[in-house]
Amino acid sequence: MLKHIDKLTIAAICMLMLIACGPPGGVRNIGLFTYFLDNGDGLHLAYSRDGYQWTPLRNGATLLQPIVGSKLMRDPSLLQGPDDTFHLVWTTGWEDKGFGYASSKDLIKWSEQRFIPVNEKLKALNTWAPELFYEPKAKIFHVIYSSTIPGLFPETNDNDSEKNHRLYSVTTRDFVTFSEPKLFFNPEFNCIDGTLLVAYKKYHLIFKDERTGMKTLRISTADTIDGRWTQPTEPITKLDWIEGPSAIRVGDYWMIYFDHYKDNLYYGALRSQDLKQWEDVSNQVSFPKGMRHGTVLRISKPILDGLLKQ
């Protein structure tokens, strides 16, 4: 039957498919990056149309000031849910027993901020870098964060800190009721800043090796989000003092953005076509000055247009 369709009709069908599905590589939306400045002054946003050049919104002004917990906003993680609501979680303090939460439909007007005390029943010393992930099949949100629970794990040669972190998680469907915390990832050494990327039918957990003399990024994989994680890779960064990874697809590459937080403070990037061989392309990207640990996501043009009008 296809042989009777003329070339003009085929071209029209192809154009409709391109509009519906986006260009090759799945890049059809604008990139948005959350970040904070200094010790955690509040929410800042930057946008990019190519994944390399990032421009601060509202000239870098604070878009949301923290008022819960210890009133810091560090490590802001933003995710747009299936109903188009944006959910935001963040670190509220260095020793808090939970994390902050707020939501928005347009990233301009925000809900009331709430403190989510997930570690209140535990003897955890902290609740750091909560990271959002949505599992479509189960229709559930995961919040993955790092904590130290004294005495739970033997010390692992981390002489520069009293903390011995592992990654924990809670789940929720409505950001009102949360599950009990559970151990999410234990590589048998001090680790923080876990972020998830689904690719090649596997879950890729990118995290920071927090041990003394390391401070680098590694990757573990699993077939399911609750599955058995593989032995972590060797460091994928040649430099140390790197944390806060966040990953996204940009054209033919997977990009991992990172916070180089020691001495010469800057935001950098790695890229890979297979998630195995990584190239440092920090000299090809530009970010707002002083930008610190955030997350990257895609937004629609109407959302960006609304932000640009502010």
Residue pLDDT, tens place only, 144-191: 999 999 888 876 555 445 689 999 999 999 999 999 999 999 999 999
DSSP letters, 254-267, are: EEEEEEE-SSS-EE
* Percentage of the chain lying above the pLDDT 90 cut: 82
Planar angle of CA 34, 190, 200, nearest 5 degrees:
60
Contact 32, 296 (CB under 8 A): yes
Asked if residue 90 belongs to a domain, the reply is yes
Residue 3, domain member (yes or no) = no
Distance, in Å, from the CA atom of 275 to the CA atom of 256, rounded to the nearest integer, reads 10
Task: Classify residue 11: in a domain, yes or no.
Answer: no
Q: Is the pLDDT of residue 207 over 50?
A: yes
Domain containing 40: what range? 28-309
How many structural domains compose the chain?
A: 1
Residue 161 is predicted with a pLDDT of 53
- Tokens 């995710």 sit on residue: 79
CATH number, domain with residue 174:
2.115.10.20
The answer to whether position 281 is within a domain reads: yes
Average pLDDT over every residue of 240-253 = 96
The answer to the question of residue 6 being in a domain is: no
Residue 26 confidence (pLDDT) above 50: no
Nearest CA-CA partner of 106 in 78, 132, 136: 78
Mean pLDDT of 28-57: 95
Start-to-end CA span in the chain (Å): 52
Residue 22 lies in a domain: no
* pLDDT for 242 beyond 70: yes
In a domain, 268, yes or no: yes
Task: State pTM to two decimals.
Answer: 0.89
